[in-house]
């Protein structure tokens, strides 16, 4: 018997790298921005209607002024238009002409129609849509355009007045009002935003800053219990977040402490394995000498000693292999799944007299890391064979594949004794999930790690007294022609 115990030890985990998080005043600025933004949005919704109201009022004022002019000129005791206060109203309103319309008769009261573009407006036919569009037209009004306002005076509904005025004063009035509304809205939005922030500062901003600072302190030293956040006892969502974060701190702190302990344990196991290699080497020499003794008692005892030593070797090798650095990244290659099964079964069943067969098509190709797949299949087939052997009953192992969506499900089925419930609960846990005598439970843990590293997984499909079915999930193309979906 040859003992091959590797002398490499468990690698120590890398040092923890903490990233310092510095809280800032971004939440304050965001609250102010949101408050001011909503006020500005509200003002924007009412802006055009407000401007439309100002425009309609401006137009009615010109029509009223024209009515006063018409009354002043047509009055029996009138001393002339330009001789009284009426002329001041005309100049202030920049009225170009006033005409009375009655029964298809036009009576010029003052002035004449100017040369240039004239836009007709009828206040009686104004709607909300026309008022809003009129504001936009006034903003974009070309220089020198005039407005012809046609409406009925309040004193005599039997006639109509036609008033022609320059549009430039209306445009200037709207622009001035726009700036005034804009500045007032900005001041109002900032004021209300500041009031909103002041109202939320005590109940929201300061508690969030406290929680943020606690997270920053915890990220720099997760194992320092003195930096732990003490919940404030609030009953709202912030209080619930504080309680959840406090519980998470305790969990993470214990995890870091456990990690440090495991790292120290790994170094200790590394040193023990180094010394164990020499002890097992000495035991090998003794067992070989005992095997050559003619004493029947010794000959009967030697095989048991060899098996005990072999179990010790296997345990040391499995422990050291699992404790090394993480598995290398997969290097995918195209290979036939049936060939991979044959190679794995040949190695796994060496020295074990267990019948084996598979029903995988010979032309079924998969793209996966070949070495990883070999280790996965070897572990599964060897576990099944050892379970059958230790049960003392005859059994078989077979494998078949099914296409499920974009995955190949490779079933490895045995007719062994099945897995006890206590084993099922910790099936893929290292050192906990083995149902074999002398087993460590590392085989399935390593196999699942390799499967997940290649984008797949290993699951227990079923287990009972009639046998166990493990499924290896492998990535595949959905239209793989090697076999039909089943």
pLDDT digits (tens, 9 = 90+) for 167-190: 888 999 999 999 998 888 888 888
Token pair 């344990």 is found at 265
Q: Taking phi first (over 0 means left), then psi (-120 to 50 degrees means alpha), and beta for anything else, what does residue 39 get?
A: alpha
Both tokens of residue 486?
């089943």
Relative to beta strand 146-151, strand 160-166 is antiparallel
pLDDT bucket at 351, cuts 50 / 70 / 90 = confident
- Burial zone of 317 (CB within 10 Å; 0-12 exposed, 13-18 middle, 19+ buried): middle
Q: Mean pLDDT score of the chain, rounded to an integer?
A: 78
Asked if 443 and 385 count as a contact pair (C-beta separation under 8 A), the reply is: no
250-257: average pLDDT: 83
At 399, which helix (H) or strand (E)?
A: strand 397-404
pLDDT bucket at 152, cuts 50 / 70 / 90 = confident
Residues facing 397 on adjacent strands: 356, 414
pLDDT bucket at 423, cuts 50 / 70 / 90 = confident
pLDDT at 100 over 80: yes
Token pair 């003992």 is found at 3
- CA-to-CA distance for 123 and 103, rounded, in angstroms? 20
pTM of model > 0.75: no
Which residues 6+ apart lie within 8 Å of 272 measured at CB?
none
Helices 26-74 and 86-93 pack at an angle, to 10 degrees, of: 140
Token pair 């006034």 is found at 138
Q: What is the DSSP letter of 205?
A: I
Token pair 């909300």 is found at 128
Both tokens of residue 28?
């304050």
Q: Which of 29-38, 301-310, 380-389 has the lowest mean pLDDT?
A: 301-310
pLDDT at 114 over 70: yes
At 403, which helix (H) or strand (E)?
A: strand 397-404
At 266, which helix (H) or strand (E)?
A: helix 237-291
Which residues 6+ apart lie within 8 Å of 402 measured at CB?
408, 409, 411, 483, 485, 486
């Amino acid at each position: 018997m040859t003992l091959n115990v590797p002398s490499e030890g468990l690698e120590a985990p890398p040092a923890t790298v903490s990233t310092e998080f510095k809280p800032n005043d971004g939440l304050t600025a965001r609250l102010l921005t949101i408050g001011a933004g909503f006020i500005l949005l509200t003002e924007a919704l009412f802006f055009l209607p407000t401007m439309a109201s100002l425009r309609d009022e401006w137009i009615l004022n010109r029509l009223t002024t024209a009515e006063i002019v018409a009354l002043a000129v047509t009055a029996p005791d009138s001393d002339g238009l330009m001789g009284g206060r009426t002329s001041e109203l005309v100049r202030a309103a920049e009225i170009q002409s006033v005409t009375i319309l009655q029964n298809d008769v036009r009576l010029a009261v003052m002035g004449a129609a100017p040369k240039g573009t004239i836009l007709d407006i009828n206040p009686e036919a104004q709607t909300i849509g026309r008022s809003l569009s009129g504001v936009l037209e006034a903003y974009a009004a070309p220089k020198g355009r005039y407005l012809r306002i046609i409406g009925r005076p309040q004193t005599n509904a039997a006639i109509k007045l036609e008033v022609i005025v320059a549009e430039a004063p209306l445009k200037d009035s709207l622009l001035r009002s726009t700036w005034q509304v804009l500045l007032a809205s900005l001041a109002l939005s900032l004021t209300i935003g500041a009031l909103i922030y002041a109202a939320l500062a005590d109940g929201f901003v300061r508690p969030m800053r406290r929680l943020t600072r606690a997270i920053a302190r915890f990220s720099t030293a997760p194992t320092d219990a003195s930096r732990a956040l003490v919940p404030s006892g609030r009953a709202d969502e912030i209080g619930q977040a504080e309680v959840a974060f406090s519980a998470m701190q305790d969990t993470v702190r214990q995890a870091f402490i456990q990690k440090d302990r495991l790292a120290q344990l790994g170094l200790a196991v590394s040193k023990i394995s180094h010394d164990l290699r020499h002890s097992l080497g000495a035991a090998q020499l003794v067992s070989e000498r005992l095997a050559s003794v003619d004493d029947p008692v010794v000959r009967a005892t030697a095989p048991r000693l060899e098996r005990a030593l072999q179990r010790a070797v296997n345990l040391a090798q499995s422990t050291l292999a699992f404790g090394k650095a993480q598995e290398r990244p997969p290097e995918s290659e195209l290979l036939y799944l049936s060939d991979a099964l044959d190679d794995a079964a040949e190695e796994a069943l060496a020295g074990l007299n267990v019948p084996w067969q598979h029903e995988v098509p010979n032309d079924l190709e998969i793209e996966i890391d070949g070495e990883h797949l070999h280790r996965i299949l070897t572990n599964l087939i060897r576990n099944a064979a050892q379970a059958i052997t230790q049960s003392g009953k005859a059994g078989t192992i077979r494998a078949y594949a099914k296409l499920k969506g974009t995955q190949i499900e490779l079933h490895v089925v045995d007719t062994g004794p099945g897995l006890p419930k206590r084993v099922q609960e910790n099936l893929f846990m290292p050192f906990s999930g083995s149902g074999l005598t002398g087993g460590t439970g590392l085989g399935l843990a390593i196999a699942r790690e390799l499967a997940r590293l290649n984008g797949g997984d290993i699951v227990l499909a079923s287990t009972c007294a009639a046998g166990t079915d493990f499924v290896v999930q492998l990535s595949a193309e959905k239209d793989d022609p090697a076999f039909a979906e089943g």
